[in-house]
Amino acid sequence: MLLLIAAAISLVVWLYARDEPVPYEALVIFAIVLFNGILGYVQEAQAERSVVALRAMAAAEASVLRDGQPVGIIIAAGTFLVLDASLPGGLISGSGDMQYGRTMAFTTLFLFQMFNVFNARSDTHSVVYQLFHNPWLFGAVALSLLLQVAVIYVPFLQRAFDTVPLRASDWLTCVLVASSVLWLRELSKAVGAASPVSAQL
């Protein structure tokens, strides 16, 4: 689902601009999502028994709130919102060009993925529960961030992926929007824990 959203965003921008022969951003997004998928698979494999037990306790919440549509909708809406706010016109008029808009949308989508990795650790516990239990997770996230920074600031990668440098305020905007998937998921866990059904479990 998230891969389709990422591909759609990148292809729409590419079709609109038509300033490069190949949609490089779509390829990069695919690589990052693939990397996160492998990371999530390894993470679940390491804690398979715990995941099975949690799903048995809260199967309804897991299928609707994490694996279902709302997470994908949040990510898609947030990414399109940042893209719209970065370009002239639209619902939120910005002042950047297409390169800037693509870079902002790409970075927001990437950060959504990073925040969502921590969501996937548990369907019921808060993200801070045993936060540092798996140091490999933090290593993978740090490596992903370094690669993202390289794509945005290293000159030959800028030319390859048609990105532009972002200011500190741009990063702050991307982080604030992308973190919504984490805080909304935390809110749903808190509401689920306080519900009568959860209390009976």
pLDDT band at 166 (very low <50, low <70, confident <90, very high): very high
Cβ atoms of 167 and 159 closer than 8 Å: no
Collapsed DSSP state (helix, strand, coil) of residue 9: helix
For residue 136, the enclosing domain spans 2-16+25-193
Check residue 72 and give its pLDDT. 81
Maximal C-alpha separation, the chain: 58
The domain total for the chain is: 1
> Tens digits of per-residue pLDDT, 3-23?
557 666 776 776 776 666 666
Global confidence as pTM: 0.62
67 part of a folded domain: yes
Residue type, 200: Q
138 part of a folded domain: yes
Check residue 164 and give its pLDDT. 94
198 part of a folded domain: no
Residue type, 104: M
37 part of a folded domain: yes
> Tens digits of per-residue pLDDT, 53-108?
555 544 444 333 444 447 788 888 999 999 999 988 878 878 888 899 999 999 99
Cβ atoms of 161 and 28 closer than 8 Å: yes
Q: Which residue has the tokens 């749903």?
A: 188
Interacting residues of 187 by C-beta distance below 8 A, sequence separation 6+: none
Check residue 67 and give its pLDDT. 43
Across the chain, what does the average pLDDT equal?
Answer: 76
144 part of a folded domain: yes
135 part of a folded domain: yes
> H/E element holding 146?
helix 135-153
pLDDT band at 31 (very low <50, low <70, confident <90, very high): low
188 part of a folded domain: yes
Q: Which residues of 97-123 are buried (b: 16+ CB within 10 A; e: fewer)?
A: ebbbbbbbbbbbbbbbbbbbbbbbbbb
CATH number at residue 141: 1.20.1110.10
76 part of a folded domain: yes
Q: Token pair of 151, please?
A: 């794509």
Other beta carbons less than 10 A from residue 69's beta carbon: 11
pLDDT band at 41 (very low <50, low <70, confident <90, very high): low
Check residue 69 and give its pLDDT. 46
Check residue 58 and give its pLDDT. 47
Q: Which residue has the tokens 């902002």?
A: 104
Check residue 37 and give its pLDDT. 67
